[in-house]
Structures are given as C-alpha cells and as structure tokens.
Amino acid sequence: MTSSVATKVDVHLNGTVVSRDDWVAPEEPLEIQVHGVSLAVLMRTPGNDLELVSGFLLSERIVESLDAVESIRHCTTVSSPESEDNVVRVVLKPAWRASHSLTPRNFYASSSCGVCGKATIDEALRTTKPVTSSFEVATSLLQELPARLRQRQPMFEATGGLHACGLFDAQGAEFGAYEDVGRHNAVDKVIGWAAGQRLSFSDKLLVVSGRVSFEIVQKASAVGIALVAGISAPSSLAIRFGEALGVTVVGFLRGSSTNVYSRKHRVR
C-alpha cells in the first residue's frame, strides 16, 4: 500500500495559528500505453497500478476480457525521473489485434472525472450493453456495507482525502476493496483485481464511499454489475443511465435509510 505524504500545515483556529505536521493523500499521473502508444493519463493514488489498468481496459470497453491481454507491466525505461513507476505498458495478444482495431483515446482523466476524455455521452455509451441479471439484495444487508467498507480505508483515516470502493455479494461476502484519490479509479482497481481472480460480476454489487456518478454506473454496466450503492447522492445522469443500462442505483446509504433510484426491483 502506498504511504501518505508528510507535509507542514498552519492551522488557524480561534484567532491563533499553530504549525504542525500533517498527512495528505498522494496523487500522481499514470500513463497507460498500449503497444507503445499513449492511450490515457489518469490522475491516481499510486499503488495497485496493474489492477487499475486492468479495470480501466475492461470498464472502458477497450477489451471485453483479460484473455485479450498478453502482459501489463510498469515500463522500466522512461524519459524522465518523474515518469518512473508512472508508466504502465500493455501488450495485447496477436489474435485480438488481428480481429480488432484499437483507436487511441489520448485523453487526460482527472481524479474527479472519469468521463472527461469522452467527446459525448453517446460515445461513452456506444459499446455498453444493458445489464440483464436476476440479482437481488436485502435492504438490511446493504445498510451494513458502508461501515464494513470504512474498515478497509486506512489511508482515509490518516488523510481524509481518499475515496473507496468495495465489491460484495448478496450475502455480504467481500471480494476486494481499494482506495484512491479518484472514485472511478477505486472502482477500476476493484474491477481489475476481481477480473484477475476470474470472479463473476453478475452476482456482485459495488459500494462507493461518496456519490454515485455517471461514470461509475457506466463502468459497472461494462462488466455486468447490476447494483451500485453510494453513501452520498447519485447524479441525475447516473439515475437516467442506470435505468437505461439495467443498473440499480442506490444512494444515501446511511444508517437505517436507503434511497433506491433505478431498477428498484433488485432491493428487497
């Protein structure tokens, strides 16, 4: 796990100023290259980069399965010291390359926006198929999951500056949880890890530590996850496309209260 970064801070309180040490969440760019061509630059928290890239390839529909991937590794030759550990190179299998055309995206994605590099929403949805799943979950179990996810957020406890995402099944079993400065990066890390473990997504749900945005719903639908729950509010676009893409969107998952916004039949 990547360590938090030490810094000095002046705390202004009740007319006094106190200087002290503080800890902040690290944020650095990660360049993803496919066959040596830059595909994207993500602003992320370093750590679990290979899982992040695997999840990005799947959730952005660049590949349909990790079976198309020959290797994912950090680049050992970089042009500057700042690029060290911040470039991941992907090689796709020849059979996939022969039957698909890879269009370079060359987009920059900030830690707050996973859809920034797409020209239009139509483009973002072009290759996404609606989720068809008989998945259901009890409200009482959903309401237990935020507290369990919080237990898997050590860097948030230290810095207060990271999002988290956890993957669970309808019985409450946990299948991975990750933190990142970008909520969509945390989602990709979970998806990439689970795909590497050859886990099924159709019987799982995602819990995110903040709001449910469009890009999180889009990423979930891309791998067949039928339910996304957030501790905070969903956006209007997340609700709209949750309905269109067959994804149940749950928000304000706090204590004994739960709001279900789309595909409501999955929450009992």
- The residues carrying an active-site annotation are 113
How many Å apart are CA 198 and CA 206, to the nearest integer? 17
**Nearest of 193, 235, 232, 200 to residue 218 by alpha carbon:** 235
CA 140 centroid distance within chain: 25
